[in-house]
Amino acid sequence: MEIMEPELLRRHMAYHEAGHVIADLVYGYRFTYVTIRLDEPGEYEGIVYGSTRGRAQDLAVVQLAGIVAAAKMAASDPWENPPRFDDDRADIATAGNFIDNWVAFLAKTYGESSYREQLWDETEKKTRLLADQHWKAIEVIAGALLEKETLSYDDVIRILKAECPDFTPGKKS
């Protein structure tokens, strides 16, 4: 069966937000809720609502995890030829800001810092690894989002305990 455009967008949003959710949990962040509920007529407003305080690279991975998960669902490369939606550009910009702030900190602390490309490459690799290692959990949460549209933190934990008993949320470092 061919997926119609609105359904493809909805699936993209579900996997995108599930990627953020699982990355949040892996790094020990607690969010309030996640939704893919329709915002304005015909527009999905996917969001994970929660904290934005933490280590720069961890936060950059959380931002990029949605893009990587949605690209993996679509069997495309998230960096070479990804399907792009507005939320992807915002996530890339936010991840870039986290890395830029990290580079600025390193430059201020240790002098000249030319680590931006290296840090970006490491962040991309960590994000791909996270999505690969936790793919089943991403699929489970994406499926739950497609069914219910909005999940609380407690809903996500309950679903993961039932469907992915080996998944253990991390502790914030």
Delineate the domains of the chain, giving CATH numbers in brackets. 5-163 (1.20.58.760)
- Do residues 37 and 150 lie in contact, with contact meaning Cβ atoms separated by under 8 Å? yes
Give the chain's residues under pLDDT 70.
Answer: 1-4, 39-54, 81-87, 112-113, 172-173
Exposed (0-12), middle (13-18) or buried (19+): which is 4, by Cβ within 10 Å? exposed
Question: What pLDDT sits at residue 113?
Answer: 67
Question: What pLDDT sits at residue 150?
Answer: 94
Q: Which two tokens stand for residue 35?
A: 């939704």
Question: What pLDDT sits at residue 101?
Answer: 83
Question: What pLDDT sits at residue 173?
Answer: 58
Question: What pLDDT sits at residue 24?
Answer: 92
Q: Which two tokens stand for residue 91?
A: 């996530």
Question: What pLDDT sits at residue 2?
Answer: 41
pLDDT digits (tens, 9 = 90+) for 23-57: 999 998 888 899 988 765 555 555 555 554 557 78
Exposure class string for 131-145: b at 16+ Cβ within 10 A, else e: beebeebbbbbbbbb
- Do residues 78 and 131 lie in contact, with contact meaning Cβ atoms separated by under 8 Å? no
Q: Please tell me the pTM assigned to this model.
A: 0.82
Where in 6-98 does DSSP place strands (E)?
31-35, 38-40, 43-44, 47-50
Q: Coil, strand or helix: which one is 111?
A: coil
Calculate helix-pair angle for 116-133, 5-26, nearest 10 degrees.
100
Question: What pLDDT sits at residue 34?
Answer: 92
**Residue 128 one-letter amino acid:** R
